[in-house]
Amino acid sequence: MLRSLYSGISGMKNFQTKLDVVANNVANVNTHGYKKSRITFKDMVSQTIASSGGPTNNSGSINSKQVGLGSSLSSIDKIMTSGASQNTDEPYDFYINGDGFFRIEKQGEILFTRTGNFKPDSNGDLATPDGNYLLGMDGQRINIPNDNVSSVSVGPDGTVSVVENNVSRTVGQVSLVSFSNAGGLDKIGDNLYRQTLSSGAPSNAIAPGTQGTGELQTGKLEMSNVDLTDEFTEMIIAQRGFQSNAKTITTSDEILQELVNLKR
């Protein structure tokens, strides 16, 4: 059987996966805090028809003769660049102007997110729209008192202050963590990430604006870092790549048909 058939099949599978990645990026173009993905390929093992040889007294060196057997998936990387900020004027919307992740408690597990839309629940604890709690510097929930509070403010360092009975006091501080390899985090849905062996353990909880983390800005949310111009270009590349590999299969099929027709 012709090697080109299998090479074409591998190329079609890879470009189908590329289109899947691009489609997911486009679907999340308006998802706050979303980080786009990219896909890379690598060549598969090559079949050596003739080995290489070194120079001799009578001739020069000879390069090996190899025929490639297609391509395979190399990686699907998360691009962790920051998205632009969007003004919301909501007091509990937080934008990280730089690196860092919020710590989130979900059913006893510590997870991480870049999406900063929080609301006090019925007990006054800041939580995501899905009911997962935002953790402060001490690893505890940040509680906004429900009674006798006239105003709430959040500083660039994450300090949450309230004016209660005309007296200002601090009720908590938003904390951030960083990772040596943030691209190694696993996406688990709901705008949340889970640490992995590749990402490494998170740093100790630190205040926003310190040790390389970004300052906190209130009344803003981080937008997706997806650029539709780039994604549509990649979509065209995926489509044409798929068509080109399909053409190698049909051409190989035509050659096989000619071979079959030699004996009649």
In terms of Cβ atoms closer than 10 Å to its own Cβ (0-12, 13-18, 19+), residue 20 is middle
Per-residue pLDDT of the chain (264 residues; tens, 9 = 90+): 578 889 999 999 999 999 999 999 999 999 999 999 999 999 998 888 888 888 888 888 888 888 989 999 999 999 999 999 999 999 999 999 999 999 999 999 999 999 999 999 999 999 999 999 999 998 899 999 888 788 889 999 999 999 988 888 999 999 999 999 999 999 999 999 999 999 999 999 999 988 888 899 999 999 999 999 999 999 999 999 999 999 999 999 888 888 888 876
Residue 264 pLDDT: 66
Residues 164, 145 contacting (CB under 8 angstroms): yes
Sort strands 133-134 and 85-87 into parallel, antiparallel or unpaired.
unpaired
Phi, psi of 5, deg, nearest 5: -60, -50
Tens digit of pLDDT for each residue in 96-150?
999 999 999 999 999 999 999 999 999 999 999 999 999 999 889 999 988 878 8
Phi, psi of 192, deg, nearest 5: -110, 150
The CA-CA-CA angle for residues 110, 112, 113, to 5°, reads 150
Burial 123-148 (b: 16+ CB within 10 A, else e): ebbbbbeeebbbbbbeeebbbbeeee
* Rounded Cα distance, 75 and 175, in Å: 32
Q: What is the DSSP letter of 146?
A: S
- Residue 9: how many CB atoms within 10 A of its CB? 15
Residues 210, 229 contacting (CB under 8 angstroms): no
* Rounded Cα distance, 2 and 75, in Å: 28
Total residue count of the chain as it appears in this document = 264
Residue 53 pLDDT: 84
